[in-house]
């Protein structure tokens, strides 16, 4: 038999879907190397044992410290799989190859640029109406990224495939938004909530928030001070305001202080900021700490135990202790060992070292390759189940 690569689905799949890969037509005990880009999958590669999706989540950047992102979700990633004879470098002759598309938009999902009032965003609408989905109008989610600026669409586009109207919201360094803001205003985010609630395809009376890092503490602030926030999924976020002052009406919440003496130097180019933020729970009357007792929303804290940017597990645990003491039970925690600060949807490769805001240098973000992949696969459907439960029960 002539060797060939069999894929299921055959030619195209969604990025957050598993892809079955099999090489057929080989002889008994024949040694081959299966490769995508430049990441070997057998001895000398990045993982061992049976890992059906390891070829994808174990991809390594060609340049150090680079992160795999998808800027244009309207086009798929093109996956090139190759089978080579034998092991080693350079590889032997090529035996088989195949291409596959890893897409972010299911057929029928609409991507709509939003310029409404002051807000800049991208809206993703699921395909069809009640014929395809039992929950039409759809539950609405606002996706708020970390403090990196710009507009990130990969999470929002994938959520729309699963039946959520999702708004990827920019809040600085995008179009005419401030490039380097000196403060943020909660009224801007309030406009985004109102935009979603007036949309004819969004099921009310409230919306969900999916916040990552700085976007998570912004989401908690919204639940504390704004109305119509029903459910929040916090991805490795603090429970105090960070980075920049946050204003709402006549109130200003200062950012959580940074203790630069606690920054650990790993080498001349890489720092560890895991202990740099002041502990908001050990300073009585700390004005940066969110008064979460005022929040009526359901809260899902998703935290990585190896987060080196913020002590997210500690923040979530202490916040839940506080809420329980207030007689509240509107919270749950999903905690993952070996998991980095950046928790993306399934099959994005690990991003262990990234830029830190203070002082814009490379810093350890944490994480272990295999453990992080397992956390992604587990957390992603949990997020969807959480929003389906609390946004569809109203």
Catalytic residue list: 213, 307, 341
Return phi, psi of residue 38, to 5°: -125, 35
Nearest-10 Cα torsion for 69, 71, 74, 77 = -40
Query: Under DSSP, is residue 221 helix (H, G, I), strand (E, B) or coil?
Result: helix
Burial letters 241-250, b for 16+ CB under 10 A, else e: bbbbebebee
Are the C-beta atoms of residues 151 and 168 closer than 8 Å to each other? Answer: yes
Strands in 246-248's sheet, in edge-to-edge order, are 184-185, 246-248, 251-253
**Using CA atoms, how far apart are residues 334 and 385, in angstroms rounded to an integer?**
13
From the list 71, 77, 167, 75, the residue with the least C-alpha distance to 115 is: 167
Q: What is the C-alpha radius of gyration for the chain, rounded to an integer number of angstroms? A: 22
Cis status, amide bond into 359, omega within 30 of 0: yes
**Using CA atoms, how far apart are residues 108 and 14, in angstroms rounded to an integer?**
13
Query: Under DSSP, is residue 141 helix (H, G, I), strand (E, B) or coil?
Result: strand
Map tokens 């994938």 to a residue. Answer: 158
Sign for the CA dihedral angle at 162, 166, 170, 175 comes to positive
**Using CA atoms, how far apart are residues 237 and 295, in angstroms rounded to an integer?**
16
From the list 141, 157, 8, the residue with the least C-alpha distance to 69 is: 157
Q: Which tokens belong to 145? A: 């990224």
């Amino acid at each position: 038999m002539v060797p060939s690569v069999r894929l299921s689905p055959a030619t195209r799949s969604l990025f957050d879907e598993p892809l079955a890969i099999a090489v057929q037509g080989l002889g008994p005990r024949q040694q081959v190397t299966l490769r995508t880009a430049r990441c070997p999958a057998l001895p000398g590669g990045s993982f061992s044992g049976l890992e059906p999706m390891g070829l994808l989540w174990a991809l390594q950047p060609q340049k150090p410290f680079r992160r795999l992102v998808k800027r244009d979700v309207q086009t798929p990633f093109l996956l090139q799989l190759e089978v080579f004879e034998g092991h080693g470098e350079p590889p032997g002759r090529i035996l088989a190859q195949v291409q596959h598309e890893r897409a972010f938009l299911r057929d029928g999902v609409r991507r709509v640029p939003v310029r409404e009032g002051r807000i800049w965003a991208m809206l993703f609408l699921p395909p069809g109406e009640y014929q395809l989905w039992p929950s039409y109008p759809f539950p609405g989610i606002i996706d708020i990224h970390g403090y990196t600026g710009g507009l990130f669409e990969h999470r929002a586009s994938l959520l729309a495939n699963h039946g959520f109207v999702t708004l990827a919201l920019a809040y600085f360094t995008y179009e005419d938004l401030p490039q380097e803001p000196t403060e943020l205003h909660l009224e801007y985010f309030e406009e985004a909530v109102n935009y979603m609630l007036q949309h004819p395809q969004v099921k009310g009376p409230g919306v969900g928030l999916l916040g990552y890092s700085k976007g998570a503490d912004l989401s908690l602030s919204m639940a504390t001070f704004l109305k119509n926030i029903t459910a929040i999924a916090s991805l490795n976020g603090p429970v105090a305001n960070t980075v920049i002052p946050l204003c709402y009406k006549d109130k200003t919440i200062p950012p959580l202080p940074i203790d630069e003496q606690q920054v650990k130097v790993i080498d001349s180019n890489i720092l560890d900021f895991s202990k740099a933020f002041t502990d908001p729970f050990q300073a009585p009357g700390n004005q940066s700490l969110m008064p979460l007792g005022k929040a009526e929303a359901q809260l899902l804290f998703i935290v990585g135990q190896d987060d080196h940017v913020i002590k997210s597990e500690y923040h979530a645990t202490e916040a839940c202790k506080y809420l329980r003491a207030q007689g509240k039970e509107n919270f749950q925690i999903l905690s993952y060992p070996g998991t980095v600060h950046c928790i993306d949807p399934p099959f994005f490769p690990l991003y262990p070292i990234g830029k830190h805001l203070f002082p814009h240098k490379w810093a350890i973000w944490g994480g272990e390759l295999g453990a992080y992949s397992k956390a992604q696969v587990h957390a992603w459907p949990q997020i969807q189940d959480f929003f389906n439960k609390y946004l569809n029960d109203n």
